[in-house]
Structure 1
Amino acid sequence: MRINADFTKRVAVHFDEVDWVASPAAGVERKMLDRIGDEVARATTIVRFAPGSAFAAHTHDGGEEYLVLDGVFQDETGDFPVGSYVRNPPTSSHTPSAADGATILVKLHQFDPQDRTEVRRSINGDGELQLFNDAREDVRIQNWMAGEVVELDAPHGLEVFVVNGGFTENGEEFRTWDWLRLPPGTRSQALAGEAGVRVWTKSGHLGDMI
C-alpha cells in the first residue's frame, strides 16, 4: 500500500474530507495521511479507538510516536489523556487500548534505528514546547498568533498538524486536525487565522526519503 508516498510532493490532508477505514482490530478505525506498506508500514495516521477497543500486543521495530487528540489512550505503562505526547523507541512493545475511547495522531517506523529515547509529556497549557530534538529531527508545539505570518522553511522537510485553530498556506485553509507535509527544499509562508493556531510540527526528517 502506498498513500502520499512521493516525498518530493507537497501533501495536504483535511480531516473532514477523508473517510475512516476499518483496521484489523474491532472498533479501531483510521484516516491514513501517508503510508508505505501494509499492516507493518511506515505510516502517519489518525486512529480512532471506540470505547473498549484494543490492539493485540506488538513490537515497534521502527519506533512509534503519538499525540492524543481526544479521550484517554492506554497501555501497560499507564493512561495518556488528551494532550499527551509519547515516543516509544525501536524495539519497544505494548498493548494499546482505550476503555472509554480515544483518537490519536500516530507515526510509525520513522525513527533512527539506534534511537532509544522515551518521551512522555503533556502539551496542555498555552506555552510553546520542544518535544524532541536530535541530529535527525525536531518536534515542537508552536503557537501562531492571530494574523501572524510564519516562514515555513523546510530544507529537510516539514510536517504541520493543526491541534486547534487554523491557518492558510499556499491559498489553502487548514483547520483543526488537518495536516500539511512540505517536501525538502520548500520555502513557504503560513498566515494564522483570526483566532490564531496551535500546531504540532516535525522537521528535518524527510531528507532521506527522496
Structure 2
Amino acid sequence: MKIAADFSQRVVVHSDSLEWIESPMPGVHRRPLDRVGAEVARATTIVRYAPGSEFSPHVHTGGEEFIVLEGIFQDEHGSFPAGSYIRNPPQSKHQPSSATGCVILVKLWQFQPNDRTHVCLQTDFMGSVPHADFKGIHVTPLYKDPIEEVSLLHFEPGAEITLNVAKGAELLVLSGSLNEQKDTLTKHSWLRVPVHSEIHAKAGKKGAKVWLKTGHLIDIENQIMRVQSA
C-alpha cells in the first residue's frame, strides 16, 4: 500500500476531513497520512481508540513515535493524557489500549535501527523558550539526535517564521491556525515538505501550536528499505 509515498512532493492533509478506516483490531480506526507497506509499514497515521478498545501485544521492530492528541492512551507502562509525547525505540514492546478513548498521531518505522532511547514527556507541563530567530514564537524542545529534531512551536497571533529545511520536515497543527503558501492549516492539518525546501508560515488571529519534526526525511530511502526487509 502506498499513500502520499512520493517524498519529493509537498503534501497537505486536513486530517479531520478524512474518513476513519477500520484497523484489524475492533474499536481502533485510522486516518492514514502517509504509508509505504501493508500492515507492516513505514507510516504516519492518526489513530482513534474507542473507549475500552485495545491492540494485542506487539513488538515495534522499527520503533514507534506518537503524540496524544485527545483522551488518555494506555499500556502496561502507564497512562498518557493528551499532550504526551512518546518514543518507543526499535525492539520495544507493549499492549496499547484506552479505557476512555483517545486519538494519537503515530509514526512507525522511522527510527535509526540502533536507537534505544525511550522518551516520555508530558508536554502540557513543559516550559518554552523564545525562538532564537523569530519574534512571537516560543519553542518547547522534545527530542534531538544527529538525524532529527522534534519540538513544539507556540505562535502568537500573526507571528511569522521561515525555516530552511534542507533535510525535509513535517508538522501537525495542534491548535489555532497556520498559513503556509496558499494553504490554511487548522487543527490536525498535516504538512510534509521534501528535502531542500523552505517553510514560510504565519499564524492566524488566535495564534497556533504546532508539532514540528525536521531532518528525518533525508533518511527516507533507508527507512523504506528497512521495512521492506522486515
Report the TM range for the smaller structure's normalisation: over 0.9
Unaligned runs of 5+ in 2: 129-138, 222-230
Aligned partner of 1:18 in structure 2 is 18
Inter-partner Cα distance in structure 1 for 2:146 and 2:61:
20
Structure 1 residue runs of 5 or longer lacking an equivalent are none
Alignment-derived partner of residue 92 in structure 2:
92
Pairing partner for 2:201 from 165, 171, 190: 190
Note the aligned Cα RMSD (angstroms): 1.0
User: Residues 94-129 of structure 1: CA distance to partner in whole angstroms, max 9, x if unpaired?
Assistant: 000001101000000100000000001111056331
Corresponding residue of 2:36: 36
Alignment map for 1:155-166 (pairs within 5 Å): 155-166=166-177
Question: How far is the alpha carbon of 1:143 from its aligned partner?
Answer: 0.8
How much has 1:209 moved relative to structure 2? Answer: 2.2
Give 1 or 2: higher helix fraction: 2
Partner residue in 2 for 1:45:
45
Specify the alignment match of 1:143 in structure 2: 154
Does the 8 Å contact 2:15/2:33 carry over to 1? no
Q: CA deviation at 1:207?
A: 1.1
Question: Which residue of 1 is the match for residue 4 of structure 2?
Answer: 4
Q: Is the 8 A contact 1:4 1:33 kept in 2?
A: yes
Q: Secondary structure at the match of 1:36?
A: strand
Q: Runs ≥4 in structure 1, deviation > 2 angstroms?
A: 125-128
Q: Which amino acid aligns with 1:155?
A: A
TM-score using structure 1 length: 0.97
Once residues 216 and 100 of structure 2 are traced to their aligned partners in structure 1, the CA distance between those partners, rounded to angstroms, is: 34
Measure how far apart 1:148 and its partner are: 1.2
Q: Amino acid of the residue matched to residue 192 of structure 1? A: A
Percent of pairs identical after alignment?
Answer: 49
* Match of residue 110 from structure 1: 110
CA distance in 2, matches of 1:163, 1:135: 26
Counterpart of 1:73 in structure 2 is: 73
Query: Which one-letter code corresponds to 1:20 in the other structure?
Result: W
1:167 aligns with 2:178: yes
Match of 1:203 in 2: 214
SS across alignment from 1:110: coil
Deviation at 1:26, TM superposition (A): 0.1
Residue type of the alignment partner of 1:181: R
TM-score, scaled relative to structure 2: 0.89
1:66/1:87 contact within 8 Å kept: yes
Instruction: Output one character per residue of 1:114-150: Cα deviation in whole Å (capped at 9) or x when no partner.
Output: 0000001111056331111000000001112211111
Number of residues of Structure 1 aligned to a counterpart in Structure 2: 210
Q: Give the Cα separation in 2 of the matches to 1:159 and 1:188.
A: 10
User: Which of the numbers 138, 148, 163 marks the counterpart of 1:152?
Assistant: 163
**Range with bigger deviation, 77-86 or 14-23:** 14-23
